[in-house]
Amino acid sequence: MTSELVQPYHTLRDNIQKRDRSLREKVVSLEEAPSFVNDGATVGIGGSTLSRTPMAMIWQLIRARKKNLSCSRCIISTDGDLLFGSGAANQITSSWFAQGILWGLSKVMRHYVEKNLARYDEWSHMGMGMRYRAGGMGVPFLPMRSMLGSDVAHVRPEVKEIDCPFTGEKLLLIPALNPDVALIHVQRCDAYGNAQIDGLQFMDIDLALAANRVILTTERIVSNDQIRRAPDQTKIPFLCVDAVVEVPYGSMPHECYGLYEPAMNHLDAYVDQVNGDPVEGMRRYLDTYVYAPKSWNDFLSLIGTEEVMSATRRGQSLFDV
Amino acid sequence: MSKSSQYTASEILTILIARQVKGGLVVFSGVGIPLLAATLAQRLGCPGLTILFEGGVIGAFVEPGKLPPSTNDQRCTKRANMVLGSADVLLLLQRGYVDIGFMGGAQIDQYGNLNSSFIGNWKAPTVRLPGTGGGNDISSLTNMIVAMKHEKRRFVEKVDFITSPGFIRGRNTRAESGLTHGGMFRVITELATFSFDDAERRMKVLALNPGVTCGQVQDNTGFDLIFDKSISVTEPPSEHELSTLRTLDPGRQFTA
C-alpha cells in the first residue's frame, strides 16, 4: 500500500543517506540560497505569526521568481500574503492565516482563497504540531484527541478516525508532514549549522528534523568553539542542516526574540495598502520593497533607520528588570 | 469615558471574565480580551493564576501597557516560568493540566460551537476567516470561557462551520465524537453571562449585566435562549476593577 500523502519510509531514509551529513562548512549567500528550493517544492516555514519568520529567505525566493510552492507554517501572517501575492506559492497549510490580531482579516488571503486562485488548508495548531513531529520522528502518523467532532476534521480528507486498539477510545490520526525543504531563522549558528535559538522555539526543532533539506538563516554566524562552550543551547544539530545564510535583521519587519520587536509602522502601512487593494496594493508593495531593493540591507534602509532602531531598542530592553 | 463609574462594553466584558477565575487555576489564553481578563485576574487577587500561551509559554505575567499583539510574541514570555515548543504547550491540554480555556469568538451557536473559519459554505465561502489557531485544541480538551460581542449575526442557531467544538449538536454528541472532557462552561457578553443546560446542552441565561433586560438579550440573539427561573443581575464593575484594568491597557488597544 502506498500513500500520496505520507512519504514512504524508505524514501525518507534514502533522502537522508544522500545528504552530506559531515561536519562541513555550509555558508552560502542569500542570493545563492534559492538554488536549494525547486519550483513546486513543499516548503516548511519556521517561527510563528510575527516571530522569527525567515523573512529574508522568503523575500529572496520571491525575487528568484519561484513558482507553485506549497508552504506550511504553524501560524502564518504577512509572509503568507507575500507568498500568495507574488505567485511564489499557490497552497498554504496552516492553523491560522491573517496579518496579525491587531489588523483583523487579511484581504490578500481572502482575495486568493475566495476567488479560488490559491488554497489555504486549515489544521488545528496542535494538528500542525503533530504533523511535523510525526515527520521528525520517522513515523507516518500520530494519534491526537483534538479536531475530533469538528468541521476542521470533516473537511480534511487526510485525517483518519480510529478506535484505539488498546482502549477503544476515538482518536484522530494525523499524517506526517516531511517538507522538501525547511526555512528557519535563528539568532546564531556556526558555519556547520549548529543552531542556537533563544526564547520561543515554536515547532522549529520538529520541522528541522522532518524536512528533507534545511536552510538556516541566522542573525550572526559564530565559531564552532562558541557553540561547544554551551552545547545545551544548540536546538538544531548541524547534521540536518544543508545551508547557512548570515542575514542580520533577517526576520524584519517581524520580530526576533531578544533582538528586535516588529517594525510596527511599516506593518501598519503595509496592511493599509494591501487590504485597501489586495491586488494593486500588493503589486506596489512587491515592486517597492521586494523587487526594487539591491540587497536585504537596501530593504532595511527602506523600512528606515528610525523604525529599525526603535524595534531594536524595544526588543533589547524588553527583558530588563 | 471620563468617570470610572461608566465603562465600555469591552471593559465590563473583561471584568466579568476575570471574576470567573480563582487563584491556583491553570488557564490557556488567547490574545486580546481573554489575555487582558486573565492578566486582570492576576492583579485583582489571583497572583497564583497560571497563564499558558500557545506560542509556548507557561506562567506568563504580562506587563501593564505592554500587551503582546499575539500569543506568539516575545512579550508573552516576560516573567514566565518556562518557554517550550508550541506543540508541547498544547499537549499539556491533552494531558489534562489545564483547568480553563479563555477565548474570543466570531460566531457562536446555541450549543456553544464557535466558527472562526468560514462565513457561508466552506467550499465557496463568502468570507474566509483566519481559522482555528489553537482554538480547536483548547475547546476540544478543556472547559471554555468565551468572550463575545453580543450581536444577532454572531449568535446564530447553527454556525456555518464548527471550528472550535462546543456541545456539537447537543445532548451527548460531544462525548460521542470522542471529546470526553471539557466543553463550554461560560459565554460572557456585554449583555449577560450564559451557561449551558445539563440535558440538551443549549445556551441559557445565567445573569444579566446591570441595566439589561431579558428581552434585550433575546432580541440580540438569533436563536431561542433558555431563561432560568432565577436570573441574577451581575454586580457592576467596581472602581478598583476599572482602574486596575485601565492601567493594564492604557492605550485602549483592546478596551476602546
Q: Helix, strand or coil for residue B240?
A: helix
Residue with cell 488548508: A121
Residue-wise over A111-123: b if at least 16 C-beta within 10 A, else e? bbbbeeebebebb
Contacts of B163 in chain A (CB under 8 A): 150-152
Whether B33 maps to a domain, the answer reads yes
Whether residue A206 and residue B54 make contact (CB cut-off 8 A), yes or no, is: no
Distance from CA of A99 to the nearest CA of B (A): 9
Give how far Cα A23 sits from Cα of A229, A233, B134, Å.
Answer: 17, 18, 38
Whether residue B178 and residue A161 make contact (CB cut-off 8 A), yes or no, is: yes
CATH of domain A9-147+157-187+195-317: 3.40.1080.10
Q: Which of B54, B151, B176, B241 is catalytic?
A: B54
Of A75, A100, A109, the CB nearest to B128: A109
Residue of A nearest to B173 (CA): A149
Q: At what angle do helices A305-317 and A264-276 cross, to 10 degrees?
A: 120
Of A102, A203, A262, the CB nearest to B86: A203
Q: At what angle do helices B86-95 and A125-137 cross, to 10 degrees?
A: 110
pLDDT(A1) > 80? no
User: What's the rounded mean pLDDT across residues B73-82?
Assistant: 91
Residue of A nearest to B78 (CA): A319
User: What's the rounded mean pLDDT across residues A218-232?
Assistant: 98
pLDDT at site A2: 65
A93-105 pLDDT, tens digit per residue, is: 999 999 988 888 9
Contacts of A94 in chain B (CB under 8 A): 131
pLDDT at site A4: 79
Residue with cell 484581504: A107
CATH of the domain at B112: 3.40.1080.10
pLDDT at site A239: 97
pLDDT at site A157: 96
Of A94, A114, A258, the CB nearest to B125: A114
Whether residue B87 and residue A132 make contact (CB cut-off 8 A), yes or no, is: yes
Residue with cell 524588553: A318
How does the average pLDDT of chain B come out, rounded? 93
A6-35 pLDDT, tens digit per residue, is: 999 999 999 999 999 999 999 999 999 999
Number of independent structural domains in chain B:
1
Contacts of A318 in chain B (CB under 8 A): 66, 74-75, 78
pLDDT(B5) > 70? no
A116-167 pLDDT, tens digit per residue, is: 999 999 999 999 999 999 999 999 999 999 999 999 999 999 999 999 999 9
Q: Which helix (H) or strand (E) holds A306?
A: helix A305-317
ipTM field: 0.96
A49-71 pLDDT, tens digit per residue, is: 999 999 999 999 999 999 999 99
Say how far apart CA B155 and CA B127 lie, in whole Å: 17
Contacts of A105 in chain B (CB under 8 A): 127, 129-130
Residue with cell 474566509: B128
* Mutate which: B28, B79, B114, B136, vs A, most A CBs within 10 A: B136
Whether residue B128 and residue A145 make contact (CB cut-off 8 A), yes or no, is: no
Which cell numbers hold the place of A167?
A: 482502549
User: What's the rounded mean pLDDT across residues B55-65?
Assistant: 90
Whether residue B179 and residue A149 make contact (CB cut-off 8 A), yes or no, is: yes
With a pLDDT cut of 90, the percent of chain A lying above it is 96
Whether B255 maps to a domain, the answer reads no
Amino acid at B240: H
* B11 is an active site residue: no
Give how far Cα A149 sits from Cα of A180, B109, B173, B178, Å.
Answer: 31, 15, 9, 7
Say how far apart CA A251 and CA A107 lie, in whole Å: 22
Whether B1 maps to a domain, the answer reads no
Contact at 8 Å (CB) between A283 and A87?
no
Give the bridge partners for B50, in sequence order.
Answer: B26
User: What residues make up the domain containing B158?
Assistant: 9-248
Say how far apart CA B19 and CA B24 lie, in whole Å: 14
User: Hey, where are the domains in chain A?
Assistant: 9-147+157-187+195-317
Whether B231 maps to a domain, the answer reads yes
Reference B130, options B114, B113, B152; nearest CA is: B114
What's B118-149 look like in SS3? EECCCCCCCEECCCCCCHHHHHHHCEEEEECC
Say how far apart CA B126 and CA A114 lie, in whole Å: 7
Whether B95 maps to a domain, the answer reads yes
Give the bridge partners for A27, in sequence order.
Answer: A244
pLDDT at site B68: 85
Contact at 8 Å (CB) between A84 and A57?
no
Contacts of A172 in chain B (CB under 8 A): 178
pLDDT at site B1: 40
Whether B4 maps to a domain, the answer reads no
Amino acid at B13: L
Segments of chain B assigned E as strands? 26-29, 50-53, 57-58, 82-83, 100-104, 107-109, 114-115, 118-119, 127-128, 143-147, 155-156, 183-188, 192-196, 203-208, 226-233
pLDDT at site B253: 81
Of A102, A128, A171, the CB nearest to B69: A102
Whether residue B131 and residue A261 make contact (CB cut-off 8 A), yes or no, is: no
Which residue intervals of A230-279 are DSSP H helices?
A: 264-276
> Judging by DSSP bridges, how do beta strands B107-109 and B155-156 pair with one another?
parallel
pLDDT(B2) > 50? no
Contact at 8 Å (CB) between B160 and B153?
no
Contact at 8 Å (CB) between B220 and B152?
yes
Contacts of B57 in chain A (CB under 8 A): 200
A290-313 pLDDT, tens digit per residue, is: 999 999 999 999 999 999 999 999
Distance from CA of A125 to the nearest CA of B (A): 5
Whether B38 maps to a domain, the answer reads yes
Whether residue A169 and residue B140 make contact (CB cut-off 8 A), yes or no, is: no
Whether residue B253 and residue A102 make contact (CB cut-off 8 A), yes or no, is: yes
B72 against B18, higher pLDDT: B18
Task: Give the full edge-to-edge strand order of the sheet including B57-58.
Answer: B82-83, B57-58, B50-53, B26-29, B100-104, B143-147, B183-188, B192-196, B203-208, B226-233
If you count residue pairs, one on A and one on B, with CB atoms under 8 Å apart, how many are there? 188
Contact at 8 Å (CB) between B99 and B25?
yes
Q: At what angle do helices A296-303 and A55-63 cross, to 10 degrees?
A: 110
B79-105 pLDDT, tens digit per residue, is: 899 999 999 999 999 999 999 999 988
Residue of A nearest to B138 (CA): A146
Reference B173, options B132, B201, B198, B138; nearest CA is: B201
Say how far apart CA A247 and CA A243 lie, in whole Å: 13
pLDDT at site B84: 97
Whether B139 maps to a domain, the answer reads yes
User: What's the rounded mean pLDDT across residues A102-114?
Assistant: 94
Distance from CA of A177 to the nearest CA of B (A): 14
User: What's the rounded mean pLDDT across residues A224-239?
Assistant: 97
B187-198 pLDDT, tens digit per residue, is: 999 999 999 999
